[in-house]
Chain A
């Protein structure tokens, strides 16, 4: 089954404790991206990657890191999480065409 997977689905952590949210896709997509969703703000892009070893900042990259060492994986790293990073996070991927992005199931992160 073609899909984007994220782990964990739920995470509660404390301020300053480094964490990684994994994202993997099995569709051989070139493009991958991370978004955060907050009430009243829709989804905002954090980072994206056009292909292996090619990453760039989205609209809200502060406090996040990413890497793209393999085509299928695109982990999101929070080196020192803070309470304002409490949010719902989505990973997505797409081909060059027809451009629509396929989303993972989401990761609910709470930082206390």
Chain B
């Protein structure tokens, strides 16, 4: 079974600053995907970024980037130039790719990020 841990229930950052959200996971799988989802007050789940475990290069999407450390089973999200619209709950999620895994998506408990003006 997979577990995903987000140890920071709440974080805050000043507008235009950089913030890093932590995520660790536990799995015996070798091939998998990791995701960061954003849930703003509207409750909609929005995909922020995706990382494939077999790729060593860290994924980036505009102001969002990850630090993927496979050996340490760590997957942190860095948000640069934080904006007020980044205020949301952020979830780290894991899905294995092995046959028969059915691509279950396991979520962490979330980090509530508040961007301060």
Residue numbers of A with Cβ under 8 A of B are 31, 33, 35, 40-45, 48, 50, 56, 58-59, 88, 90, 92, 94, 98-103, 105-106
| Identity of the chain B residue whose Cβ is nearest the Cβ of A41 in the assembled complex | B109
Which of B6, B45, B91, B95 makes the CB contact (< 8 A) with A99? B95
Choose among A31, A40, A98, A103 the residue with the greatest number of B CB atoms under 10 Å from its CB: A103
Query: CB-CB < 8 A to B108: which residues of A?
Result: 42
A92 to B37, CA, bound (A): 13
Query: CB-CB < 8 A to B109: which residues of A?
Result: 40-42
| Identity of the chain B residue whose Cβ is nearest the Cβ of A98 in the assembled complex | B50
A50 to B103, CA, bound (A): 9
What is the count of residue pairs linking A and B with beta-carbon distances less than 8 angstroms? Answer: 54
Q: Is the contact region of chain A dominated by helix, strand, or loop, or is it mixed? A: strand
B102 touching A50, Cβ below 8 Å: yes
Residue numbers of B with Cβ under 8 A of A are 4, 6, 9, 33, 35, 43-45, 47, 50, 91, 93, 95, 97, 102-110
Query: CB-CB < 8 A to B44: which residues of A?
Result: 103, 105-106
B102 touching A103, Cβ below 8 Å: no
Q: A42 and B91 in contact (CB under 8 A), knowing A88-B43, A105-B43?
A: yes
A99 to B97, CA, bound (A): 9
22 interchain pairs, CB-CB under 8 A = A42-B6, A42-B107, A42-B109, A43-B45, A43-B91, A43-B105, A43-B107, A45-B105, A45-B106, A48-B102, A48-B104, A59-B104, A88-B43, A92-B105, A94-B103, A99-B33, A99-B95, A100-B33, A100-B47, A106-B43, A106-B44, A106-B45
